[in-house]
Homo-oligomer: A and B are copies of this chain.
Amino acid sequence: VEVSIWYFFAGALKIPFLFLTNGGGLPESKRASEMSRLLGVNVSPLQMLQGHSPFRKLVNKFGNELVVAAGKGEPAAVMSNYGFKNVISMDEYASYFDNIDPLAPYKKFMIGQDGHKELRSRENVLSQRVQAAFIVSDPVDWSRDIQVLCDILRTGGLPGKKIGPQPHLYFANDDLDYQTAFPTERLGMGAFRIALESIFNRIHDNPLEYTSFGKPNPFVFKNAEDVLKEIATSPDSLKQGSRHFKTLYMIGDNPKIDIRGARQAGAPWFSILTRTGVFKGKDNHAEFPADLVVDTVEEAVDFILTRESAKQSLLMS
């Protein structure tokens, strides 16, 4: 790793930046602590925008309603952190229903992932309608989650019953696949959505209705811009700079998600595609070409530092 990127992160240059990821499963505060430890510099929770961060805005609508949160990590803790007062993890919710998952005897998932568990009465949960389901991060137990979500969605929020309109359904992202250590892409939340939707539409008359957040949704880029402005003008320890950006740099490794999103967002976005993830091509991506293609994140930062007089904002994916 080159020196320049650490110099940059260390705050010697007053360039506001944040991390924009479709991943998630942990509260922004925990993710920021992780990132601080990893980079050796202080990263604020405000600088961590995850796929599920927009769920925060739905607290006005569902803050006091019974909602279910699904996915790896601590989905209920994430939602609780956003202000949802009656949120229950899928793990806990499913546990109240006898025989809801016929494959349960063959499974034994690690427990204690989600620290957020309140004392509730089983009867209380079973008699309340679920008003919305949030897929906070990648679901781990697809067969159970698809089964229980179908139960919730087709009954109006009361599994086992047969009445009521479809509760709301929100996905933190709709990524079909993503790059990991495995040679080829792994299936993501978008694949889970396809599986759920295909099955639901076979067993239910009305097609599944849902909303997906995450890149390349333009909302994410507009929100990132707003947060960067906040950071730029905040009086605290965060980097300071101009409230008016000439350029916003998007450094990302996924053409379909990062570069496509930055292109759709338009000015003041400038997209830089790295060869560190999904994209391995020699030249630019054919369908979603970036403004610049480089090998590594360090190269991208070097480019920006050279191009700018250290007065712009920077966004990293």
Residues of A bordering B, CB below 8 Å: 72, 97-103, 106-110, 113, 138-143, 146-147, 150-151, 159-162, 176-177, 180-184, 186-187, 191-192, 194-195, 197-199, 202-203
Contact = CB atoms under 8 A, between A and B. Distances in A.
Contact of A108 (B99, B100, B103, B109): B109
Contacts of A98: 181-182
Given A106-B140, A138-B103, A203 B177 contact: yes
Given A109-B107, A110-B106, A138-B103, A194 B183 contact: no
A182 B99 contact: yes
A140 to B, nearest CB: 4
A160 B183 contact: yes
Contacts of A138: 102-103
Contacts of A147: 186-187
A143 to B, nearest CB: 4
A267 B161 CA distance: 39
Contacts of A100: 182
A140 B140 contact: no
A203 B140 CA distance: 21
Nearest to A183: B160
A314 to B, nearest CB: 28
Nearest to A101: B186
B103 A72 contact: yes
Contact of A194 (B97, B181, B199): B199
Given A177-B203, A194-B199, 17 more contacts: A98-B181, A102-B138, A103-B140, A106-B109, A107-B109, A107-B110, A108-B108, A108-B109, A109-B109, A141-B142, A142-B142, A143-B192, A146-B191, A176-B202, A195-B195, A197-B198, A198-B198
The CB with the most chain B CB atoms within 10 A, among A138, A159, A184, is that of A184
Contacts of A191: 146, 199, 202
A75 to B, nearest CB: 12
Contacts of A162: 184
6 contacts: A72-B103, A103-B140, A140-B143, A142-B146, A143-B192, A146-B195
B108 A187 contact: no
B160 A182 contact: yes
